[in-house]
Structure 1
Amino acid sequence: MKYIVLIALQISALFIYAQGHVEGKINDQKGLPLIGAKIVLENTSLGTTSDANGKFHLDFNGEFPFDIKVSFVGFQSKNVTVKDNSFLTVSLSESVEIEEVTVESKVSTTELSMVNPLQVQKISSKELQKAACCNLSESFETNATVDVSFTDAVSGAKQIKMLGLDGIYTQITQENVPLIRGLSSAYGLSYVPGTWIESIQIIKGAGSVINGFESFAGQINLEYFKPENADKIFWNFYTNSESKFENNLQFAKKTGKWTSNLYTSINYHSKEVDKNENGFLDMPHVKSINVLNRWLTETESYRINLIGRVLFDEREGGQIRSISNPYKVLIDNTLLEFNSKSGLKMPDKIGKSVGLQTAFRRHKQAIKFGLTDYNALQESAYLNLIGQTFISTTDHLLKYGISYYADIYTENYETTYFDRVDLTTGIFLEYSYISPSELTIVTGIRGDYHNTHGFEYLPRLNLKYNPSDQTVVRLSAGKAMRVANPIAENTSYFASSREFEIQDSLGVEVAWNYGINFTHCFKLFEREASFNADAYRTDFENQVIVDIEDPTKLRFYNLDGESYSNSIQFDFNYELYDRFDVKIAYKINQVYSTYDGEKMLAPLVPENRALVNFAYATDHINKWMFDATWNYIGESRIPYHPLIEDNKTVSDPFYVINSQVTKKFKTYDVYLGGENLLNYKQENPILGGDDPFGSNFDASIIWAPVMGRLIYTGIRLKIN
């Protein structure tokens, strides 16, 4: 009898289990797992959380159907009716997004993450299409975090600044693999066409130890279009009033064991334009061919991503042909690159995985500014092995690994050789804790050994707290290091008569970064709005000072005194009315360094900046799109030069307005835009231009636009 009762109980238990349990996975809109999402049975206290793979199992002693509520901090909660015990997949949408008009529908083009413990702002391809965005240097025209300006008045090269610091202090990566460093520091921003980019993540402050040791001000990470998200055929043709042409043709293979992207880009400009009538080309002649090919395969157990790229870029600037014995600028770059990302998922071991990132590069550069010759070769290898596991529960994640950087530089400046081998081996450990009280802690430490400069430890800490689903507060602190490349990173000063003086035994650059961030999303007159405020300080323990205070010299030496950057930024985003969005930002940068024992404001860094952006679409289909951006650039300190008018020491504030109109058709878009519509230009940006081989020539002291109004047009064609 007891066996009959036991069997009956087992059958009953099986029946109850079959009727009252559900298994599934919680993802975001991109299909990425959400760790620690809450799954609660409606009108009960029964619930569970998702594991490190986003999966969950919930038992219920009842009958189908029943309702569950799925929630995750920073995402919109979702109620789901469970009809049977089949596997359930639930996708959540982020609740804090800057809603802006896009080409296809009312979706976010810029996002402020409420989930990531790091302060991350994501710029989508739809946002990039609001401006010409020919390359990465032009991808921040509607963004206030990253500042872009010309490096000099003859080469056409641009530079970025973040938190008031030069771009060399921002780690720039492609899919978290190093992209711009070494020889590519001067011209690398122009090597990534904007049409290749699916999104850009801007990370302020101390980042993750996993991604390397060079993040002083933050990180800019590019994500290229993947085969599954790309158009089968995409074509973009661009031309402007200076007769420059750009042609981007892209293909996607979406089926088969291996999927693929093929990106091609051709840039050409040969017209001699001298609207300033100063005898120098306003824009250098350009011939550029850029090809990138990606191959990707993925199963439940592994993922492999391979990327190869080749670039040939030639630029010719300087004086116009009609001048006898002209001052010429010749810049040739050849780049070969191979990257890989491989991951072992370990589906049978929850919360555990292993990944390997590699990058190999050969970059050859030949530069001539007048009588100045510079030839360089960089051969680099990068390896980053990452493991992940958990401690006790998946609320306590642990990532660990080793990294290796190898850079071989062969540099020849004039008659002097600067050959160098940099070998850096590092180990890192990062712990993450996600608590039920909406607190997230990410703390990590790196130890990196350089073959010349020795060992450096780099601790980092990021804290995130969500008082509510609509509010987040973050604190961060961390240490970073880098080895300077004085000549390669300052080739813009070749456009001058300065003599280079490099101190022996330049040290490794080391700095601490501290930050606080507050983001709140709310309703204002029943419409979506968000407010963001952040403050960051970067303190250098050592810095390679680039001293241009003497107009005859460019000096490099180790910091002897204070050097720091304070940056405060406020952002407000609001949907004024249907399909009309407003973005307002204001930023204060105070950057000081010690030059020959005297603490001074860093030259050519505006202390105040502001941005206002308007975006409007005529209807929900967005047949017509209008975008306008107003920039205010405040005063900056001008270093002394005898030819600067009235011995001017502070630049005048000015405004820059950019605008674009887009007309959308079924398979293609046509756009027309203008940059620097107010036609504001720096007066006499080429000092001593009447004698470029003389002792007073200098085209590198730039604080305002060097080109006037630019009108452009183009077409985008998509075939799927």
Structure 2
Amino acid sequence: MKKKFILILCVLLSHWAAAQNIFKAKVINDETKVAMKGATAFIPDLKISAIADTSGLIIINNIPNGRFEIEISYTGFAKSEKVYSFPMQYLNIPTVVSLGPATGELAEVMVQTTRTNQNLRDVPTHIEALPLEELDEKSTMRPGDIKMLLGETTGIHVQQTSAVSGTANFRIQGLDSRYTQLLQDGMPLYAGFAGNLSLVQISPLNLRQVEFIKGSASTLYGGGAIAGLVNLISKVPEKAPELTLLLNGTTAKGADASIYYSQKWKHIGTTIFGAYNYNGAFAPGDGSFTAIPQTNRIAINPKFFLYMDEHNSGWFGVNTTYENRFGGDIQVVDGNADNVHQYFERNKTFRFSTQLSFTHKIDEESRINFKNSVGYFHRDFEEPGFGFKGQQLSSFSEVNYVRNGEKASWVAGANLITDNFTAVPPQNNLNYHQTTLGAFAQNTYKASNWLSMESGLRIDENIPAPVKPSNGLFILPRLNALFKISGHLTSRIGGGLGYKMPTLFNDQSEQEGYQHIQPLNIGNTRAEQSFGLNADLNYRNALGDEAFININQLFFSTRVNQPLILQNNTFINAPGHLLSQGAETNVKLVMDELVFYLGYTYTNTRQYFSGTNSTQPLTPKNQFSFDSTYEIEGSFRFGAESFYTGPQLLSDGTTGKGYITFGLLVQKMWKHLDIFINAENLTNQRQTKWGAIYTGSITNPDFKDVFAPLEGTVVNAGIRIKLLN
């Protein structure tokens, strides 16, 4: 009897052991196909759970035979709930589970600017991102450029640099545009001589995400990222082909036509973007000068992608833009010049750049990346009695190593940046040449569940070197910390050093049209050096089943020593420092199909020169923004927005008036067709309504600072046709 009992027990035990199954799944982001480290799997009936590793792999052991529902979730993404039968047919092949952004929830995004492709909520650096859904809305508001996209972002102020040509630049946290970097796919393409025409020559239709770092970002991106940077991330081909055509017209005599095509095959893929943008000379309210210049622009941007195997991939792209921008006295632009009406500004530009990126994946945790871009930019600027033309040839090359571990992630690499500007006689004394060789390393360490640290160090050598004490060598440390105080409350604190080499190309030179500007003697001019601090609190929580709220409060402070100023047509180092301090408040409330957004920026930028203390011109202290959107996904969208820009000191000592603008958007979507109509500045705020935009005579005008819109109310309408999507 005893032997029979033991035999039965052994049979039962062997049957029980054989019934213990294993579930393997790899969790990826449905849009980016990036592995989702930290995703959670849960079997409700068995009360068993597991967490994905760095490769997105989840393994659950000891599952008995039978059918069980397995829930796979990740914060900000829609949950996967599926029933699996055990034993499974293919035990050693992980099931691929794709998670898409949760509808109505504050969906998380993966960021690339830190180079580690981490989830936004896990990055110690303060980063903001505009995902594809928001870019889709912005592309219907202004398809021809990204001025609106940046200008509506908290903490960023777009400053128009010409009263008649529409050129503009952007400032982060109250600092001039020369302290910011504009990148495309992590590569600097729009610096120097090309800077003030960048915002008006880039279309949002070709972008899938825009990322912002506010505050020092010099560790990874070198000199010039004192105030922060904007990284424009281009679309990549997906398995499903896409062919989109957008046609748009405006009441300000504008017309836009854009086309985007992408497709991915097994080993190759391609994206092709092309656009033609036209604007007739527009001077509202019987104005004497163009608020919007006569513009003809054509852009072509093809890219070729190669997927050799699971370890090697890369892409190569070309960016070509030609533009003829003609502004000034409206009679001159219309061909009716006479002895009185003579003033004009003409900008003819040609941009050609190449981009190359290659990635070798060593294993699931590490990879080597190589990037290169070469850019050529030619600009011919002309006004009565004066002309300035030249070409800029620049290059960027970088190799870096990235390792994403359980506790620590590393980024280390080196890059070479060259910038050469050659002016055409007689202004060839303004020639500029700069070479920068840099090496950097950055570590992100998860010390515990509530604390992550990000530390970095960069060393740059510049040739030619500025005057002592730096002598062209800069050592730039940086430190950031992320505190997860609770499941709903987090905080980031960080700071770092930065620098900016002396250059002629900035907002002041652009406003002067480079006329009478004296050559820059780098050997007798110090580099501008900075120290910046940022601290924020972020609260996010669900309000019931259908509502979510996100509140972010950011504080910032940046000091720039001996900033470059224009004095008697010569750039010199100011005897003192520049200090920019302030705060940003962002509130986002999602209630099912209804979204509310509120933003506030307080900026106090002061100049401490020669023992005096004064406010920096063209820096509004107070800016408010409000945006509300009602959207039925894939069917209908309605949006309303309002912006307040407070009074600001102008260069002539007067104060520019504060103003409020208001806009509306209505969009109807079908499977293959969108129709939209958008109205901007419905309050018809125009600087020319409050006084003349210039002093002197109309023949030889001296233009004032531009601090408010010049074009007034503008309505645009159009269609977007999605033929293959």
Q: Work out whether the TM-score is over 0.5.
A: yes
Counterpart residue number, 2:721: 717
1:429-468 matches, within 5 Å, as: 429-453=441-465, 454-468=472-486
Amino acid at match of 2:415: S
1:266-315 CA distances to partner (integer Å, 9 max, x unpaired)?
11224x43334343223211111110001112231111111111111111
1:14-66 CA distances to partner (integer Å, 9 max, x unpaired)?
99599443433333343212345566787999876544433355544865666
The yes-or-no answer on 1:343 pairing with 2:359 is: yes
Amino acid at match of 1:603: P
Cα distance in structure 2, aligned partners of 1:305 and 1:361: 17
Which of 177, 184, 188 is residue 167 of structure 1 equivalent to? 177
Which of 556, 559, 563 is residue 539 of structure 1 equivalent to? 559
The yes-or-no answer on 1:519 pairing with 2:572 is: no
Which of 269, 286, 308 is residue 277 of structure 1 equivalent to? 286
Cα distance in structure 2, aligned partners of 1:543 and 1:637: 19
Q: Is the 8 A contact 1:495 1:699 kept in 2?
A: no
Q: Is the 8 A contact 1:149 1:705 kept in 2?
A: no
1:293 aligned counterpart, secondary structure: strand
2:650 aligned counterpart, secondary structure: coil
The yes-or-no answer on 1:132 pairing with 2:142 is: yes
Counterpart residue number, 1:54: 56
Counterpart residue number, 2:367: 353
Amino acid at match of 1:539: R
2:483 aligned counterpart, secondary structure: strand
Counterpart residue number, 1:644: none
Amino acid at match of 1:406: T
Cα distance in structure 1, aligned partners of 2:212 and 2:505: 27
Counterpart residue number, 2:666: 661
Judged with a 3 Å threshold, the aligned counterparts in structure 2 of structure 1 residues 462 and 692 are, in CA distance, closer, same or farther, namely farther
Cα distance in structure 1, aligned partners of 2:556 and 2:156: 14
Amino acid at match of 1:658: G
Which of 573, 584, 589 is residue 558 of structure 1 equivalent to? 573
1:383-402 matches, within 5 Å, as: 383-389=397-403, 394-402=406-414
The yes-or-no answer on 1:478 pairing with 2:496 is: yes
Q: Which region of structure 1 is more displaced relative to structure 2, 669-678 or 369-378?
A: 369-378
1:592-612 CA distances to partner (integer Å, 9 max, x unpaired)?
124565331110110000011
Alpha carbon RMSD of aligned pairs, Å?
Answer: 3.2
The yes-or-no answer on 1:678 pairing with 2:683 is: yes
Which of 178, 195, 203 is residue 185 of structure 1 equivalent to? 195
Cα distance in structure 2, aligned partners of 1:676 and 1:341: 41
What are structure 2's unaligned runs of at least 5 residues?
Answer: 1-9, 108-117, 466-471
Q: Which has the higher contact order (CA 8 A, sep 6+)?
A: 1
1:190 aligned counterpart, secondary structure: coil
Q: Which region of structure 1 is more displaced relative to structure 2, 500-509 or 309-318?
A: 500-509
1:645-682 CA distances to partner (integer Å, 9 max, x unpaired)?
xxx62222111112222122342112112221111111
1:139 aligned counterpart, secondary structure: helix
Judged with a 3 Å threshold, the aligned counterparts in structure 2 of structure 1 residues 497 and 379 are, in CA distance, closer, same or farther, namely closer
1:376-435 CA distances to partner (integer Å, 9 max, x unpaired)?
211111111011246xx6322222111110111113586451222211111111112124
Judged with a 3 Å threshold, the aligned counterparts in structure 2 of structure 1 residues 14 and 147 are, in CA distance, closer, same or farther, namely farther
2:199 aligned counterpart, secondary structure: helix
1:264 aligned counterpart, secondary structure: strand
Amino acid at match of 2:211: Q
Amino acid at match of 2:163: A
1:612-691 matches, within 5 Å, as: 612-617=626-631, 619=632, 621-623=634-636, 625-640=637-652, 649-682=654-687, 683-684=690-691, 686-688=693-695, 690-691=697-698
Could you tell me how far 1:557 is from its partner in structure 2? 1.5
1:51-450 matches, within 5 Å, as: 51-57=53-59, 59-60=61-62, 83=86, 84=88, 85=91, 86-91=93-98, 113-128=120-135, 129-130=137-138, 131-140=141-150, 142-207=152-217, 209-228=219-238, 232-270=242-280, 272-298=281-307, 299-319=309-329, 320-321=331-332, 322-325=336-339, 326-347=342-363, 350-389=364-403, 394-412=406-424, 415=427, 417-450=429-462
Q: Which region of structure 1 is more displaced relative to structure 2, 377-386 or 272-281?
A: 272-281
Amino acid at match of 2:94: F
Q: Is the 8 A contact 1:186 1:490 kept in 2?
A: no
Q: Which region of structure 1 is more displaced relative to structure 2, 91-100 or 603-612?
A: 91-100
Q: Is the 8 A contact 1:28 1:93 kept in 2?
A: yes
Could you tell me how far 1:520 is from its partner in structure 2? 1.1
Counterpart residue number, 1:607: 621
Cα distance in structure 2, aligned partners of 1:371 and 1:651: 31
Q: Is the 8 A contact 1:266 1:289 kept in 2?
A: yes
Counterpart residue number, 1:579: 593
Identity of aligned residues (%): 18
Amino acid at match of 1:334: F
Amino acid at match of 1:127: E
Cα distance in structure 1, aligned partners of 2:493 and 2:577: 24
Judged with a 3 Å threshold, the aligned counterparts in structure 2 of structure 1 residues 457 and 413 are, in CA distance, closer, same or farther, namely farther
Amino acid at match of 1:426: G
Counterpart residue number, 1:27: 28
2:262 aligned counterpart, secondary structure: strand
Could you tell me how far 1:516 is from its partner in structure 2? 0.8
1:48-85 CA distances to partner (integer Å, 9 max, x unpaired)?
65444333555448656667776667768777766433
Amino acid at match of 1:448: D
Amino acid at match of 2:95: L
Cα distance in structure 2, aligned partners of 1:160 and 1:626: 28
Amino acid at match of 2:695: G
Counterpart residue number, 2:115: none
Q: Which region of structure 1 is more displaced relative to structure 2, 597-606 or 119-128?
A: 119-128
Cα distance in structure 2, aligned partners of 1:61 and 1:283: 68
Cα distance in structure 2, aligned partners of 1:486 and 1:98: 46
Cα distance in structure 2, aligned partners of 1:499 and 1:421: 17
Cα distance in structure 1, aligned partners of 2:595 and 2:119: 16
Cα distance in structure 2, aligned partners of 1:711 and 1:413: 43
Counterpart residue number, 2:6: none
Counterpart residue number, 1:103: none
TM-score (structure 2 length as normaliser) = 0.85
Q: Is the 8 A contact 1:276 1:282 kept in 2?
A: no
Amino acid at match of 2:496: G
Cα distance in structure 2, aligned partners of 1:429 and 1:499: 39
Q: Is the 8 A contact 2:218 2:497 kept in 1?
A: no
1:468 aligned counterpart, secondary structure: coil
Judged with a 3 Å threshold, the aligned counterparts in structure 2 of structure 1 residues 628 and 122 are, in CA distance, closer, same or farther, namely same
Q: Which region of structure 1 is more displaced relative to structure 2, 73-82 or 330-339?
A: 73-82
Cα distance in structure 2, aligned partners of 1:673 and 1:556: 43
Judged with a 3 Å threshold, the aligned counterparts in structure 2 of structure 1 residues 465 and 63 are, in CA distance, closer, same or farther, namely farther
Counterpart residue number, 2:511: 493
